[in-house]
A and B are shown apart, each in its own frame.
Chain A
């Protein structure tokens, strides 16, 4: 990894295995240290997986079963109905749809704005462009809680409290800095010749941006899309500050509410937690590569 963090590095780690580390030329004897290490790793992995296993087992038990059996024991009867009940009680249909609508509108729009800004900063070479980048990047790292009080007042004045479109505005704002920072690095690396030859052919700046620069940034855009989607789906602090009525809640608010209101319905609670996390898990399993790339390209978690 070069010390210029914002360079669009090629895929460095591919968690789906297959990245090649040169095998050490070991003589033909048992590598006891290696075996010991492997066993230690397997145990660590099992420890990390244990909470998931316990959560699943709890989610299919009745309350009576939970009191009677050990957390790691199989249920005496599989209470799949917990899932339906949790879905109903926690209003996962409504809140899930809210989260989905917010993510699907906010993420592409924010990426487009961020790409435009990153293009301007990286390639249009106006004065102070690096200062501007620094100001934006700093904003992506400062704790968002600092802004919450005044943000509440701002949204109140705009009459945008407790509405999904109203929540999207600060959501756009918190996703943009990180995306600008990553895309800036990407756009810097595109050779000037491409742009120059397009200019000679008479292409406008806007056309160059849309037809040359954006398509080249596809891998970075894809990685950012996934990361921003997950970040938006998981966001809690701003949502809890700006949303009031249950009909407008996003999934994290529903999880927290379920956990405080129905904290003793252990089966449905765990079923709800699992259901709330499934979309993120699916996204992760489908796009593992992007998580790693995105984390590396910016190394500035927004």
Chain B
């Protein structure tokens, strides 16, 4: 319920009206908003918009030279003369699809399994969740060692079980490097969807499950008709966050391959960075960043609208 200004002050015995009550609500709110909005606006919003502006300029990023306006030139080059851009775009898409397929489904399965009473349940949950607490750059360093061609765990294990022929240079082969990096991301990321699904499962009414069982439904029918519909809102959240987090992948790739070998693990976020800082082309970097921004907004804005609906007062 809304406070009606002017009603409260009429209450008998109230102190004399404070001046602040007569100001518009926005003026009262302003001092509370200023620090956050100033910092957020100046260090996040402004640089992001500036990336869009820079995408219409040719500029090396050096102070000594002035940015030169070139219109859509950077975009034309990006779409027609930059094979790496399409490679990174494709890799980003692959990453999104794989992330929706593997960690999300695995997270759902683990949540369903670990939702039952069993010995060691909380320990299992923790062990699977802990990797997602670590810095991605740390996980990258770990997995570089795991993938070490001669001494790493993966190849040594293959040798030990007699599959020596299967050993690979996991991070050195352009055909498989992206999938090797992705495997490390599965290990790190699966805890997050698992925890969200576990929380979602708490909202499944036990009476419904019991009633369905009394009616003779088997486990699959219960899952299909009771559990799954109850998980729908959770699933929306997990899908969107999985896609967004896939577009953000950066540290893990920098740490494991730096985008190589032969750009085979290049993704949009890293290619934008590489164009700006390594190739000294802030215009091209800005153009890639703008593409990434538009992609993200296409997902985030509908999601925000969905998650904030029913919150009006």
Contact = CB atoms under 8 A, between A and B. Distances in A.
Interface string A104-124: 000000000110110111001
A257 B47 CA distance: 27
Interface string B249-271: 01100110000000000000110
Given A1-B200, A15-B125, A200 B8 contact: yes
Contact of B126 (A15, A114, A192, A252): A15
Contacts of A79: none
Contact of A147 (B51, B123, B142, B156): B51
A83 B238 CA distance: 39
Interface residues of A, number: 123
A291 B286 CA distance: 35
Given A13-B199, A17-B122, A120 B29 contact: yes
Interface in B109-132: 110, 113-131
A143 B277 contact: no
Interface in A214-246: 230, 233-237, 240-241
B248 A145 contact: yes
Interface stretch (B73-81, B94-102, B290-298): B290-298
A176 interface: yes
B10 to A, nearest CB: 11
A201 B18 CA distance: 11
Contact of B234 (A1, A148, A149): A1
A142 interface: yes
6 contacts: A4-B311, A22-B210, A120-B32, A150-B47, A205-B20, A281-B133
Interface of B: 1-3, 8, 11, 14-15, 18, 20, 24-26, 28-30, 32-33, 35-37, 39-40, 42-48, 50-51, 54, 61, 63, 110, 113-131, 133-138, 140-146, 148, 151-153, 156-157, 160, 187, 192, 195-196, 198-200, 202-203, 206, 210, 213, 233-234, 237, 241, 244-245, 247-248, 250-251, 254-255, 269-270, 272-273, 276-277, 282, 285-286, 289-290, 292-293, 296-297, 300-301, 303-308, 310-313
Given A295-B192, A296-B195, 18 more contacts: A1-B202, A3-B306, A24-B213, A71-B153, A113-B39, A117-B36, A129-B29, A141-B244, A143-B248, A143-B292, A146-B290, A149-B285, A172-B39, A176-B39, A234-B135, A263-B144, A277-B135, A281-B130
Interface of A: 1-6, 9, 12-13, 15-17, 19, 21-24, 34, 37-38, 40-42, 44-45, 48-51, 54-55, 58, 66-67, 70-72, 113-114, 116-117, 119-121, 124-127, 129-130, 132-139, 141-154, 156, 169-170, 172-174, 176-177, 180, 188, 192, 196, 199-202, 204-205, 209, 230, 233-237, 240-241, 251-252, 255-256, 258-259, 263, 266, 269-270, 273, 276-277, 280-281, 284, 288, 291-292, 295-296, 299-301
